[in-house]
Amino acid sequence: MLTAIFIPLFVLTLLFSYYKGLKKGVYLCVALYFSIPSYIPVFYVAGLPIISFTRILTFLLLGAILMFHGKPFVKRIRTFPLFRSYQAILLIMLLSAIASLGEKYFSMNVNIVLSFAFDYFLPSLLIWAFISNNADMRVATKYINISFGFVILYGLITHFTHVNPVVDFFKYNNPFPNSKIVFADFSEKIRGNVTGRLQAYYPNAILYGGVVALHLVFCLLYLKPDKGLAFKKSKLMTIITILACILSLFLINSRSSLVCLFASLFVIILLGRLKQSLQIVFLGASTTLIVLTLFSELLADYLPTVNNIFTLGKEGNVSGSSLEMRYTQLLSALQIYSKKPVLGWGFNYIQYLLEAGRTGDLLGAESIVFQVLISGGILGAAAYLFMFSAAYSKLLSRYRKVNRYTGMIGVSLFTGYLAFALLTGDQGLMKFMLIYLALIFKQLDIEYSARRQAPKSLSNLSN
């Protein structure tokens, strides 16, 4: 059934890439990562990674790119600010997988290396390589906004109509006979005072909340005060999107997505100029007030989740990890880590434990710290720290030297992601965060190039 649905879409996307050009085909392919999750397969082959729509499309586009733009493409992606970090993480992941040779989870560890290469790192590298000016940036972000806007609209419609065909399909049809945990259904779960959590058709509500929070912050680029730059969009459309994101965040009913948003907004207030910070605070407060006013009766039942962020327990009838539970998970993670401290158990080992029901006190390893220590050992932790420090240092450098506003949004996005990952684990949010970061880095690069090429003022020439 899934094959019958996606083959026509696959053909149409390739035709679009052929007639509109490879560059726009790349933008469309990256945008589809937001609306067609990688857990949805075109077909299934036992022992191989999920053969999804986006993976096949990315593989074919990559082949065409290497055929027609081989050396220039490789040269461009090597200039991506996080390229060496990508190499380090993939190397550690591969070594960790090889170290698990002979174990039941060996093939899972190999599969995750391919997943990171194609799903996590390649989309951001494609964005970096094919965007060269503001016109390209406008097209790429337009495609992403339309793609994810469809998901937001679908999620809200299905929530209010109580009919979600995609969730219902995966609830009763597991397309992966050898995997127990691919899709988490929250339609009947009770959290706080409500049953069910908005997840659109993402694999779980927590990941969906993280993407919504990041997209909301990314939308702030369209309110950028500079004229004539890439992010030119109707302010009304931007505010509507922000309103939809805020409403969705309440309905998702997740602490981690709200923490992601709050952490991002805190950085904006901290790094922004006073006028910019006040404008964003006013926009956030007014749009939230509008949402609360229009949906006051509905959202009253979701407020315990917001309160629970500050109690860090289970007050307000909201189940969630307390500090004591996190401490227990840390002890369990350290115990597992101590048995293979150098390269870890492999980056899909925790998934193996979850499917086997053998996590014990580790539960879901609900922090990226626990996940990386167990999966990659001390070398894996070092590779991740290398990427995180590189992202911060390069964003802050461009914040100071190129554009305060764009750099500020980049730092806030990355901080929001880290807050999310530390609280609940990566959940697959990194792949989306890296796409947003690639767009931020490229916009800063465009602005820096334009500044260098701009003619000097008469006052400077006279000196």
**Model confidence pLDDT, tens digit, residues 59-74:** 888 888 888 888 888 9
Residues above pLDDT 70, as percent of the chain: 83
Looking at the chain, the whole-number percentage of residues with pLDDT higher than 90 is 38
At residue 308, the pLDDT reads 66
What pLDDT shows up at residue 341? 93
Helix (H, G, I), strand (E, B) or coil at 425: coil
pLDDT value for 307:
65
* pLDDT for position 4: 64
Helical packing angle, 404-424 and 368-401, nearest 10°? 170
| pLDDT bracket for residue 1 (50, 70, 90) | low
Contact 442, 130 (CB under 8 A): no
- Count, in order, helices (H) and strands (E) of the chain: 20, 4
Mean pLDDT over the full length of the chain:
83
Instruction: Using the predicted structure, report yes or no on whether residue 111 has a pLDDT greater than 70.
Output: yes
pLDDT at 458 over 50: no
Question: Which residue type, as a one-letter code, is found at position 447?
Answer: E
Q: Tell me: the pLDDT tens digits for 343-376?
A: 999 998 888 888 777 888 887 788 899 999 999 9
Residue 100 has pLDDT above 60, yes or no: yes
- Asked whether the predicted pLDDT for residue 79 surpasses 90, the reply is yes
Task: Taking residues 400-427, report their average pLDDT.
Answer: 92
Average pLDDT over residues 15-31: 85
CA atoms within 13 A on the CB side of 197: 26
The more confident residue out of 11 and 185 is: 11
Token pair listed for 63 = 């082949």
For range 194-199, the mean pLDDT: 78
Burial of 156 by CB count in 10 Å (0-12 exposed, 13-18 middle, 19+ buried)?
Answer: middle
Helix (H, G, I), strand (E, B) or coil at 153: helix
Q: Rounded distance, CA 185 to CA 353, Å?
A: 20
Please give the structure tokens belonging to residue 355. 């499917």
Q: Where are the beta strands (DSSP E) in 161-219?
A: 190-191, 194-195
pLDDT value, residue 415? 96
Of 15-24, 142-151, 252-261, the range with the lowest mean pLDDT is 15-24
pLDDT exceeds 70 at position 47: no
- Cα 455 to Cα 463: distance, rounded to the nearest angstrom: 15
Distance in angstroms (rounded) separating the CA atoms of residues 255 and 250: 10
Distance of CA 365 to the CA centre of its chain: 19
Alpha-carbon distances, residue 380 vs 64, 152, 425, 437, 461 (angstroms): 33, 35, 15, 22, 52
Residue 239 banded pLDDT, cuts 50, 70, 90: confident
293 vs 459, residue with greater confidence: 293
Nearest to 200 by CA among 232, 246, 250, 165: 165
The structure's pTM equals 0.90
Top-confidence range, 72-86, 243-257, 443-457 = 72-86
Dmax of the chain from CA atoms? 75
What's the pLDDT at 285? 80
> Are 291 and 247 spatial neighbours (Cβ–Cβ below 8 Å)?
yes
Q: How confident is the model at residue 179 (pLDDT cuts 50, 70, 90)?
A: low
Q: Would you place residue 320 in the very low, low, confident or very high pLDDT band (cuts 50, 70, 90)?
A: low
> 229: pLDDT confidence band, cut at 50, 70 and 90?
low
Please tell me the distance from the alpha carbon of residue 259 to that of residue 300, in angstroms, as a whole number. 19
Cβ contact 406:224 at 8 Å: yes
Which amino acid type is present at position 454? A
